[in-house]
């Protein structure tokens, strides 16, 4: 059984333009970039004294819908382990690569045991995929 899928896209759009467009696509749907000031991994690693290769441009973008997340986590804090939604963005071959890990329903229900939560999480995953496609 497949527990997750990796949603993979690419664009000719420069990485930072894609990030701006993803942010705009999210805001119009009630989502935010939760870690906007810390998503550039070169800066994050550098702040801990770790050097990275020239041109390393991985961005780990945490997507959040605050109203939905707050209600969900207050209902059951066990859900928190499956809540972080990261879109990974990097450059390869002069093209911006986008990756998004999506957990499948059987995994969500097995780990949390709530069909309603699985429905809600899958709804969020679908919205984020649409946001990615709009930002491309």
Tens digits of residue pLDDT in 34-91: 999 889 999 999 999 999 999 999 999 999 999 999 999 999 999 999 999 999 999 9
Q: Which residues contact 56 (CB under 8 A, 6 or more apart)?
A: 41, 42
52 contacts 42 by C-beta, under 8 angstroms: yes
Query: Domain segments of the chain: what residues?
Result: 4-135
64 contacts 43 by C-beta, under 8 angstroms: no
Backbone angles phi, psi at 13, to 5 degrees: -65, 135
β pairing state of 4-11 and 32-33: unpaired
In this predicted structure, what is the pLDDT of residue 118? 95
Q: What is the mean pLDDT of the chain?
A: 95
In this predicted structure, what is the pLDDT of residue 1? 79
In this predicted structure, what is the pLDDT of residue 63? 97
The pLDDT-based confidence of 127 (bands split at 50, 70, 90) is very high
CATH superfamily of 4-135: TT1751-like domain (3.30.310.70)
Residue 103 has pLDDT above 90, yes or no: yes
């Amino acid at each position: 059984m497949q527990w997750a899928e990796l949603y993979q896209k690419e664009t000719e759009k420069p990485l930072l333009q894609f990030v701006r467009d993803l942010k705009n696509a999210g805001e119009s749907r009630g989502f935010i970039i939760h870690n906007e000031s810390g998503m550039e991994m070169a800066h994050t690693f550098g702040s801990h004294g770790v050097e990275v290769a020239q041109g390393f441009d991985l961005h780990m973008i945490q997507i959040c819908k605050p109203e939905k997340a707050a209600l969900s986590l207050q209902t059951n804090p066990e859900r928190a382990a499956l809540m972080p939604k990261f879109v990974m963005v990097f450059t390869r071959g002069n093209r911006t690569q986008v990756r998004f890990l999506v957990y499948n329903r059987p995994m969500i229900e097995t780990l949390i045991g709530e069909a309603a939560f699985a429905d809600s999480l899958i709804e969020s995953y679908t919205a984020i995929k649409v946001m990615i496609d709009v930002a491309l």
